[in-house]
Structure formats: structure tokens, C-alpha cells
Amino acid sequence: MRSRSIPYTASPLLASRTPVWRSKFVMASVALAFVGLASRAFYIQVIASDFYKRQGEVRFTRTLPIPATRGRIIDRNGLILASSIPSPSIWAIPEDVPRDEKQLKQLAQLLEMPLPELNRKLENVDKTFVWLKRQVDDSVAKQITELGLKGIYQRKEYKRQYPEGEAAAHVVGFTNVEDIGQEGVELTFENDLVGRAGSRRVIKNRLGQVVESVGELVPPVDGRDLQLSLDSKVQFFAYQKLRDAVVQNKAKAGSVVVLDARTGEVLALANYPSYVPEKRRNLSGEQLRNRALTDTFEPGSTMKPITIAMALEAGRVSPQTVIDTSPGRYQIGGFTISDTHNYGSLTIEGVIQKSSNVGALKVAQKMAPQEMWNTYTALGYGQKPQLQFPGAVPGRLRPWKTWRPVEQATMAYGYGLSASLFQMAQSYTAFAHEGEVIPVTMLKSDAEVTGNRVFSPETAHAVRKMLQMAAAPGGTGPLAQTIGYSVGGKSGTAHKQVGKGYASNKYRSWFTGMAPIDKPRVIVAVMIDEPSNGQYYGGLVAAPVFSEVVQQSLRLMGVQPDMAVKPQIVMAVEESL
């Protein structure tokens, strides 16, 4: 086949001769371009490589935290009071989320969020990250995944659980959504519980997806478990009985404290009203306040045993010293101090048994103000409790040099100074622990405790006998009696302060005591605030709670009964079985 020659002469463009310099210029330009590209590549990859690496890391490399598991909080028997469980959190890249109203409405329903609120979170398309909801249930997270919405992602976090709920809320406290302690033990022991987060370096694409791991993995260090002195069974029972008493007496609030009389361990500390730590929406200060530690009151007649103990220790009186309380009234400094009845002549034991204000003030008059102040201070009044717990207050105890005679008299029966329920419970360790006030703790401890001696063992024994008389028939607190255990304690009823005076119809009712009386194992203090169902005396309102809590606590501790149970009661129990 013959090839045809091209008629170059027919085309003026092809017929014209190309200058040699033009072809050389083109070749030189191409070569120069390659040299420029090579130089730029050399500059980027060798000379300025660090800068571009940093820029790449800024855009695509991320350091992801690996959260540490927060330590558990357990009670003295190993039962869980607080623990952390994995919980997914929902986040989004707003610019990637399609504006499909039907799907967004479904998403809002699953997040339990109004649709307008969800739209507000997604309206800023410049954002590349926004939390939609933290710590949702696994079932909710699964349903959100099934929606298949573009731009919606999940991240694993940890959520705190509190099995004992509102019963132990004021002790355990709670954490915020970042798993940082906010109240109670969670706050106090934050550094022990929180642990140390780990980290890993990754490369992410524009969708936030991990493409590759780079660098070394730093493993997290989990938080330390914390074992409290609390007995969750005693705590629950105490809370339950306190709640019932507050409701039954139509009271404003109440508190109860249970101490181990030998070790100073806090076995229970409950307040009502309370709250559920995992559901804290619309909470009020009334629910959050740990009243047993934060609220102070004039303790009323629960101070009388301390007044008597001072005088016994100083040798001013003996248990059989007779005090004339007739005619049931006493004038001092323009004020009249009265008893509920004219008890006539009473022994010192009778002053406690009948709770005579006149008898107590006459005993106090045998003491110097400084002597009384020193004893109050040694017992912990006017001082913040040395307890690893937030919110504890010191109460009020004015310097003895400022006391007027009438103030010294009223302090003898619990007016003119203030204390928390916790302070009152701790001060009674002086009677239960052979005259020594012992330190208290929220942590489990098996160590022997050494206290601060305030009274002699003989004085402590004498006062315990008086407390037993006060809680027996003929005393002011017979409703404190329990089945199988001997008890001793003192009731108190105090008018509430309103402004500079006292409300005539508002009271706080107390009962503080211990059991068994010869070798005390527990100290229980109960306070009911503003009972308004017809009864307000501590012996009628607070003593029954004391009775039930003491009996259940001793039974759970395995303490053998020290009193014979009446046959008819045994028969009744057998019949019920």
C-alpha cells in the first residue's frame, strides 16, 4: 500500500519554518518547571519539613484521651455505694448533618430534647464538633445508630451509678457529667478516686474517623477504690425510719447519726429530705443540704448530762446530792426559768431522769464559767469536727469571759450555744468510751483509737446510769427502750430561733444515747425539725426512731442481747413464725 505524501505547501502554517529559538525556549521552560518542582519538593520535604509536619498534625492528628475508670466507693462490708459504667455520649459535626426534619424529629425524641433545642445546637455549620447529649443509655445509643444519620457520632464515656440511691446520697455525694466529684465523699476524696487518664495519638479524616494510630500509647491509671466505715444496711434502715418519722410527724426535716462507740467509725449518716444522685434536675438546697453536719441548733436538754458530768468530775456534787427545784421556777437576771412540773427535791440522778431545767442550772452555778467552757471545748463544741467531709460547721460557743449569769444558767440545759447533730453524737463518746472523746472517721478502720480524756471512767459510768434512768419508765424517754438491749439516752426539745427571739410553736426534737449501756457499741443521735402533728417532745418524736435504729444496728453488728426477753414477747415471735 502506497503512502501519500503530505502537501506541506498547501498549508501556510506548515509551510512556514519554525525558529530554532522557539523550540529551545519551550524545552528550557519545561526543564525549568521541572527544576522548580524538584526544588519546591526538596524545600518542603527537607528544609521546611518540620513546619509542614506540624501543619499536617494540626489538621489531621489528634491526641485522644483514654479515660481512667473512677474508683469505686464501697461500704465496710464490700457492698458497692458508687461505681462507674461505660456510657455512650452523642456528638455531631453540624455541617454534615442533613436537615431532614423527619429524621431530626426522631433524633430529638430519642435524646429527650425539644426539636428547636436540637436545631439550635446544629444551626452553626462552621462548627466541627458539638455535644448533643452526654451519657445516654445503651438502648438509646443503639436506636440512634439505626437512624443512620450522617454527621452523628458516639463516644464512650463513664457514668456514675449509686445503688443505695437517696438513702446514702448525703454521704456518697455525686459527680458531674465530666465525672468530677461535686459533693460528699466523691468530692472529699476526688484525688484518690479520679485516677489518671491515658492518651493515644491518631490521624483523623475530615469526618472525624480514626485512620491510623501514631506514636506511643499511654495507658490510663484507674482510680483507687475507697472503703467507707458506713454499713449500707444500717444506713438504709436508719434513713427509712427517719423518713417515716418525718412524714408521720409532719415535720420539715430530720437527721440521724450512728457511730461505732469503740472505733469512732460512722456507721450511718442520713438526712431527709434527700435526693437520688443520678437524677438531680430541679433539686433544691433543702434536699442537697447535709443537715447532720451543716445545720446547728441549740441542743436543749441533751446538754444536761454534760453539765452533770462536769460537776461530778469537779467533785461539786455526787449522784445522790439533793437539789431543791421547788417551786419549779427560778428567777435570774430578770428571766424566769421553769420546769414542766414542780419536781421538788431531786437527786442529781433525778435531775437527769426528770430533765429538770432548774436542777441543771443550780448545778451549773456550782461551776465557774471557765470550767464549763473548757469542758465544752474539750468535747468539741465551738470547733469544726475533724472529719474528712465537706460542709461540717463548728457551731457557736462564745468566750466564757462574755457570759452573763443568765447565759451560764441557760447553757446548763442547752440554750445559748449551738451545735450540729454530729457534734452532739461525738461528744457522747466521752460517756461511751470511759470518759474519752474519740476521733470520728468516715473510712473503715480496725485500729485501736486513742481519745482525749475529759472525764474519769467513774464519771462516765455514773452518767451512763443516769442516761439509762432517763430512757426507762419514769424518765423522759421510755419510748427509746429496745427489745433485748439496755439503752441510755437523753431527749431534748428546743424552741427554734426566729430573728432575735424564739418561735412559740416551732421546735426541734432530739434524742441522743447509746447501747448496750454497760459496754456501749453504738451511739445514735436523732433530730426531727419542726414536728407539727400534735407532738413535739424529743421523748415522743425522736426517741422511737432511736429505739428502732439501735436495735437494728446492734443486730446487724452481731451484738448479743444483754437483757432477757420477756416470755410473752418470745411467744408472740414464735407464733408469728
Q: From CA 270, how far away is CA 546, in angstroms rounded?
A: 13
Strands 226-227 and 73-74: parallel
| Backbone Cα Rg of the chain | 38
In sequence order, which residues have a C-beta less than 8 Å from that of residue 12 and are 6 or more positions away? none
Distances (CA, A) of 144 to 87, 113, 154: 14, 13, 9
Residue pair 69/158 in contact (Cβ under 8 Å)? The answer is yes
Residue 372's SS3 state is helix
Residue pair 198/66 in contact (Cβ under 8 Å)? The answer is yes
Residue pair 213/200 in contact (Cβ under 8 Å)? The answer is yes
CB atoms within 10 A of CB 373: 22
Strands 152-161 and 488-498: unpaired
What's the grid cell of residue 520? 456501749
What's the grid cell of residue 225? 477504690
Q: From CA 363, how far away is CA 361, in angstroms rounded?
A: 5
Q: From CA 273, how far away is CA 289, in angstroms rounded?
A: 9
CA-wise closest residue to 60 among 122, 130, 153, 128: 128
Q: What angle do CA 419, 425, 426 make, to 5 degrees?
A: 90
Q: From CA 242, how far away is CA 244, in angstroms rounded?
A: 5
Q: What does the CA dihedral 468, 303, 300, 374 come to, rounded to 10 degrees? A: 180
Q: From CA 372, how far away is CA 454, in angstroms rounded?
A: 12
Q: From CA 288, how far away is CA 388, in angstroms rounded?
A: 18
**DSSP per residue over 5-28, as a string?**
PP-GGG-HHHHSPPPHHHHHHHHH
- 301 in active site: yes
Q: At what angle do helices 115-122 and 101-110 cross, to 10 degrees?
A: 110
Q: In degrees rounded to 5, what are phi and psi of residue 86?
A: -60, 140
Cα-Cα-Cα-Cα dihedral sign, residues 331, 337, 340, 346: negative
Q: In degrees rounded to 5, what are phi and psi of residue 490?
A: -135, 130
Partners of 514 in the beta sheet? Answer: 488, 523
Catalytic residue among 301, 491, 547, 553: 301
Q: CA end-to-end span of the chain, whole Å?
A: 122
Burial class (CB in 10 A: 0-12, 13-18, 19+), 372: buried
CA-wise closest residue to 360 among 346, 371, 374: 346
Q: From CA 157, how far away is CA 167, in angstroms rounded?
A: 26
**Annotated catalytic sites, by residue?**
301
